Amino acid sequence: MSDASKKVLLVDDDVDFLEQLKMRLEAMDFEVLAADGETAAYELLKETRPDLVVLDLMMEHMDAGFNLAYRIKKMDKSIPVILVTAVESQTGMGFGTGGWLKADAVLAKPVRFEQLKREIQRLIN
Amino acid sequence: MERLRVLVTDDEPGMTAAVERVLKDYCVSLSGVTGEVGFEVDTALTGEEALEIMEQRSPDILLLDYKLPGISGLDVLDRVTAGEAETLTVMITAYATLETAVSATKRGAWDFLAKPFTPDELKSTIRKAAGSVILSRQARRLAAEKRMVRFQFISVLAHELKAPLAAIEGYLHIVNDRVSGDDLAAYDHVFERCMIRTRHMRKLVMDLLDLTRIESGQKTRELTQTDIVEAARHAMETAEPEASQRNISINLEAPDSVLMRADRAEIGMIFNNLLSNAVKYNRDGGSVTVALAEEDDTVTIKVADTGIGMSKEEVDRLFDEFVRIRNERTRDILGSGLGLSIVKKLALLYGGRVHVESKPDAGSTFTVTLSKQPAPDPVQLADTAS
């Protein structure tokens, strides 16, 4: 499988959602790095360059997800970033993928795994 | 300055002009209102004209003559009473008999002004009416605020209940899809997480029941001579398993017994919530100290931990419902967010209060003072406690 040993960084402060995503992606033979917050994500990013990042936009600080997305893109523009957010469904506020944030995909929470899987496969190959 | 709208309806132009003149520069100061209250006066010579004006903007106070050329004053009054606007109607009448007064009152008039009246009589009537308008305005505002608080509470509650459900559902799908294969042992931590989330969801529901019972005042309280020290020991035993798992010691500093008239279950709730927090937000290997003291008419309960502590801003928000201090250190700690509002409401039932001192990374001390005096009626307390 071409996805084998590709590294996916998951960042979400919902530890159960994080665990569930991890299990599912591991079942697809991805190597999964899970971070339950900004700090943990920065630690992991020091040592590893992931092939893709799935990032929850709203963590304990309102702008944690934005900062992280920005830092990752600044570090390496070619790393695809998928933003996961409940904000769109809660406020009707759209982010899109063409804005300053330059996310490669934006998914609304609750995320259907099939949809996330499609986006990951599209972006990682 | 707050301005109330007055509409004067009388078929004598001299009369409406006089009222306008008197009220134009009249100001009253009323209790509960900062600054003075002034008046804006509209006039109408017929009932039809009055209704037309009222359709545009409804007055706070309507001065209404009984005898009008077209539709009568009482007809106008009926329309005002049937309408949705909160207008106080003062009937003006040249022949104030008990009969007319009774019939108009039945139909919704608030007061009377007998013709002819002096400027002072007019002012005194308007002053009374203004007081009533302001009062009911404040009552409405308060009721609206209460509804809003209730609404917010329910929407946060719904969210808090949805979160564990979503987590458990996600795990069920994982097992159902055999994501980690057919070996059940591969799902041990999945089941464990489901049980943890279920347990906390139950705790939330239980806390919610406690809280609503306290707030509604419907909980039957059994005030008996209660030993606070014994209640503390009991709560310590309850907290012990979780504490020892994380090497946290719980110590008691208290006399042999401290007696007060109290409801055992309520005192138990106070201790359980405080101790559960002190353990939950502690560091591994830390300690919890429960100190009890008695002084004349008060009993003081102090629960100190050596935990993560809080900043001043966090302490300020602490007693609000569903406020859980969210930061990196508290992320993995589950709680209902209701515990401390329960403690605070219970303390109020005993004429007491809750005080917090906290230092980030050093620990927090919660001090609850309870009065040994007979507790006030919890029904009255429902308002002040919220």
pLDDT tens for residues B288-308?
Answer: 999 999 988 899 999 999 988
Q: In CATH, what number does B222-385 get?
A: 3.30.565.10
Amino acid, res. B145: E
pLDDT value of residue A95: 53
Mean pLDDT computed over every residue of chain B = 86
In a mutagenesis test of the B interface, which of A15, A23, A32, A36 is the best target, namely the one with the most B β-carbons within 10 Å?
A: A23
Selecting from B179, B193, B327 the residue whose C-beta is nearest the C-beta of A60 gives B327
pLDDT tens for residues B15-56?
Answer: 999 999 999 889 988 877 777 899 999 999 999 999 999 999
* A7-124 carries CATH number 3.40.50.2300: yes
pLDDT value of residue B380: 44
Q: Is residue B6 pLDDT above 50, yes or no?
A: yes
pLDDT value of residue B318: 76
Percent of chain A with pLDDT over 90: 38
pLDDT value of residue A76: 87
pLDDT value of residue B36: 87
| B327 min Cα distance to partner chain A (Å) | 6
pLDDT value of residue A61: 64
| A119 min Cα distance to partner chain B (Å) | 19
CA-based angle B348:B354:B355, to the nearest 5?
155
Q: Spell out the SS3 assignment of B98-165.
A: HHHHHHHHHCCCCEEEECCCCHHHHHHHHHHHHHHHHHHHHHHHHHHHHHHHHHHHHHHHHHHHHHHH
Please state the φ and ψ torsions of residue B348, each to the nearest 5 degrees.
Answer: -60, -35
CB pairs under 8 A between A and B: 38
Which residue is associated with the tokens 């899809």?
B177
Q: Do A36 and B331 touch (CB under 8 A)?
A: yes
Q: What is the mean pLDDT of the segment spanning B88-96? A: 83
Domain boundaries, chain B: 2-143, 222-385
Q: Is residue B381 pLDDT above 50, yes or no?
A: no
Per-residue pLDDT band for B124 (boundaries 50, 70, 90) equals: very high
In order along its 125 residues, chain A shows pLDDT tens digits of 454 589 999 998 888 999 999 999 999 999 999 998 888 899 999 999 999 999 987 655 667 777 888 888 888 888 999 988 876 545 544 455 555 556 788 888 778 889 999 999 999 87
What is the second-level CATH architecture of the domain B2-143? 3-Layer(aba) Sandwich (3.40)
Q: How high is the ipTM of this complex?
A: 0.83
Q: Is residue B239 pLDDT above 80, yes or no?
A: yes
| A98 min Cα distance to partner chain B (Å) | 31
Q: Do B171 and A36 touch (CB under 8 A)?
A: no
Strands (DSSP E) found in chain A: 7-11, 31-35, 52-56, 81-85, 105-108
| B342 min Cα distance to partner chain A (Å) | 25
pLDDT tens for residues B323-366?
Answer: 665 555 565 566 667 888 888 888 888 888 899 998 888 899 99
Amino acid, res. B253: E
Q: Do B179 and A39 touch (CB under 8 A)?
A: no
Per-residue b or e along B2-31, where b marks 16 or more CB atoms closer than 10 Å to that residue's CB: eebbbbbbbbeeebbebbbebbeebebebe
Q: Which residues of A touch B180 (CB under 8 A)?
A: 23, 27
pLDDT tens for residues B154-213?
Answer: 877 887 888 899 999 999 999 999 999 999 999 999 999 999 999 888 988 888 888 888
Q: Is residue B113 pLDDT above 60, yes or no?
A: yes
